[in-house]
Structure 1
């Protein structure tokens, strides 16, 4: 008897906003996974960083689950509600079953009984206090939960506390003052996760830089996917799980998705989900119409706010040259995470007809984009000589919503 295999839905295959690891469309990242595993075997605090949407959460969950490591995640944004890192650690310990209030009763002889009869009347007062070492209390609970095996405490969303020097100082204090022997005995590792590229520098500035450097190890940046990794997500989802049929050039579609999403893992998943949903409603056929409609929905739901930012920086009127528009268009074409003004100028000169001796004033234009009310790019690097998009979504907007007209002017795509 033949039993038909139940088809999975697009929502089961592509899960762009899920915190749970989706094995169906997880793209293995061997180098990063290996570096994280090696760091876990050491004795230092670990920093894992990368732009939002690049897959940091899925990466560490993949490594932990593959190695059968128990882990607990703390959202550092909770420091604002709880008031301190210690309070957040205590709350997590309480969630794991720890008693976070120490109670001690003392008996006192207060003399005569009420009414003046007899003597030796005693009363009892109960004193309550908070534990003095919240990390140690939490580590003990994690040790119990893991059955005595290694466990990991993830301090996530570091970017949420960068405006508070006090909170960063508390992270630094944790790194410096934690009882190393106790932490080692309880087999706990600590991983700090966030988007800033300079997490270690931020922590060092509020503490002893040498001590922090000796106690912390950074994993290489969790950057956008390699092209092969992005294609793996697409082929696994569209072909292996959903069994979609292509009426258009499959390879051209994969290149388009990779380019328009800038290979940001979350956005690859988002656009693929829209395409899959539309294709399923179209008898599981992937056509030009399906892709166009999916892109439109993805843009409206994901990139509308960023489109407004890009448009606000463009020339308000169609000028003869439209240099700002040309620079914006070329920024979208950059295939580098970080770039300098020489690379932008080279891209512009190869894209638009420009006289070789003409001064294009690229540094000034880029500086203006950095200083805008809502900046398009920000400076990076030790000397601030390189640039990076403030949000990868702004590059996606440029790639999907701007195009060249027949006269080489930059216009909004219809």
Structure 2
């Protein structure tokens, strides 16, 4: 029996759920199922790549709930959430897993060919209103509850116009004419604070009360990563020793921060390394996998971090220590005190009797033309601009035998 292909097992960019590699999230799945049973809208948020799309698709399929996906990135391009929702319902003549008849498609095509879909922050409900018409068509095909998924919310979060349109749509769906269609929204994206945003905008105090927010979809833990490795490489007819499996799981958690997409990417890269070595593993392969993983998706991050390192071999190289320690912070926001504590832990022999100058280094890392950090307004706190920077720092920087921060010189 031939071995499965690597790319059929580890699928970091596959939009559809890879059933054999799906990691169960019992709490999130339970919360989402309960939220979807209510007559309200639902919000899922979490960092990009943490598996939000697979989560909602898995749950909706288990509930046998019909849905369409409207992409907020496309709504931003079109300048209209309404138009993108309408397009998603009639896309290619079908809704998800539900086909239109030729007669119904003719009606849809004739209606939307009129070009009467326009961006509008408030809607006059009449017989030609496109959103209501699209929902009625959806309802004629699916009489049970159905969901419009608004994915990639981050694409419109900074647009006051589109967020106001979203607020109007949320309110409209309580209108009897819309409610009869039995459609709810599932809003999916990176930004936290969405409910607070709706509470703060004018005349929208009640919008947040119409939305159920489930817990943030975070990264995978070591046990979940171990399951992915065991399952995935098992499908490839390969088994690591218990010691190697533990070491690999810890390493992948450390460099990927548990991002589901990045875990799949790393496992895919490691599997290719194994394939080229006739499926014979040795721990040095992790170094080769590190380099291959960085080259394929972190070129920009590597180059940006390299620009911020000390440009000469200074005695202490405090800036390099700061950057190294930023990737070891366990909280989202940090200040100079947090970094100084980590420097004392990792570089105890370099602690001066006077000030270390960490605050000035953090300010410099946030003020550069290509900043590594963002500064929280009116405070001394900072946060990393992109989680990929953290992943890259963890792979490219290490403490050498002399106790100094050293850089792995990958070919980028």
Structure-1-length-normalised TM-score:
0.84
**Partner Cα separation in structure 2 for residue 41 and residue 9 of structure 1:** 39
> Quick check: 2:3–2:237 contact (8 Å CA) kept in 1?
no
Choose from 400, 404, 409 the match for 1:405. 400
1:215-236 Cα offsets, whole Å, 9 max, x none, are 2222221111122112211111
Q: Does 1:281 align with 2:276?
A: yes
Greater mean deviation of Cα atoms: 10-19 or 214-223: 214-223
Instruction: Mark the CA change 1:379 to 1:236 in structure 2 (over 3 Å): closer, same or farther.
Output: farther
* Residue in structure 2 matched with residue 10 of structure 1 by the alignment: 6
1:356-395 Cα offsets, whole Å, 9 max, x none, are 7533343443333333323323356x98665432221111
Q: Does 1:25 align with 2:34?
A: no
**Partner Cα separation in structure 1 for residue 175 and residue 182 of structure 2:** 10
Gaps of 5+ in 2: 95-104, 118-126
**Partner Cα separation in structure 2 for residue 231 and residue 145 of structure 1:** 43
| Aligned counterparts, 1:18-57, within 5 A | 18-57=14-53
**Partner Cα separation in structure 1 for residue 8 and residue 111 of structure 2:** 46
* Residue in structure 1 matched with residue 133 of structure 2 by the alignment: 137
Choose from 152, 159, 170 the match for 2:154. 159
Secondary structure of the corresponding residue to residue 192 of structure 1: strand
Instruction: Mark the CA change 1:94 to 1:67 in structure 2 (over 3 Å): closer, same or farther.
Output: closer
Secondary structure of the corresponding residue to residue 258 of structure 2: coil
Choose from 78, 82, 102 the match for 1:86. 82
* Residue in structure 1 matched with residue 371 of structure 2 by the alignment: 375
| Aligned counterparts, 1:93-132, within 5 A | 93-95=89-91, 96=94, 97=105, 99=108, 102=111, 132=128
Secondary structure of the corresponding residue to residue 153 of structure 1: strand
State the number of aligned residues.
384
* Residue in structure 2 matched with residue 348 of structure 1 by the alignment: 343
Greater mean deviation of Cα atoms: 330-339 or 41-50: 330-339
**Partner Cα separation in structure 2 for residue 250 and residue 406 of structure 1:** 27
* Residue in structure 2 matched with residue 108 of structure 1 by the alignment: none
| Aligned counterparts, 1:229-308, within 5 A | 229-239=224-234, 241-246=235-240, 249-308=244-303
1:76-133 Cα offsets, whole Å, 9 max, x none, are 1112432322222232333344626559xxxxxxxxxxxxxxxxxxxxxxx9956643
**Partner Cα separation in structure 1 for residue 38 and residue 363 of structure 2:** 42
**Partner Cα separation in structure 2 for residue 264 and residue 142 of structure 1:** 35
> Quick check: 2:327–2:394 contact (8 Å CA) kept in 1?
yes
Q: Does 1:359 align with 2:348?
A: no
**Partner Cα separation in structure 2 for residue 229 and residue 245 of structure 1:** 17
Which of structures 1 and 2 has the bigger CA Rg?
A: 1
Structure-2-length-normalised TM-score:
0.85
For the aligned residues, what is the CA RMSD?
Answer: 2.6
Instruction: Mark the CA change 1:11 to 1:137 in structure 2 (over 3 Å): closer, same or farther.
Output: same
Choose from 324, 329, 333 the match for 1:329. 324
Instruction: Mark the CA change 1:268 to 1:326 in structure 2 (over 3 Å): closer, same or farther.
Output: same
Secondary structure of the corresponding residue to residue 294 of structure 1: helix
Gaps of 5+ in 1: 104-126
> Quick check: 1:152–1:190 contact (8 Å CA) kept in 2?
yes
Secondary structure of the corresponding residue to residue 35 of structure 1: helix
**Partner Cα separation in structure 1 for residue 333 and residue 311 of structure 2:** 28
Secondary structure of the corresponding residue to residue 71 of structure 1: strand
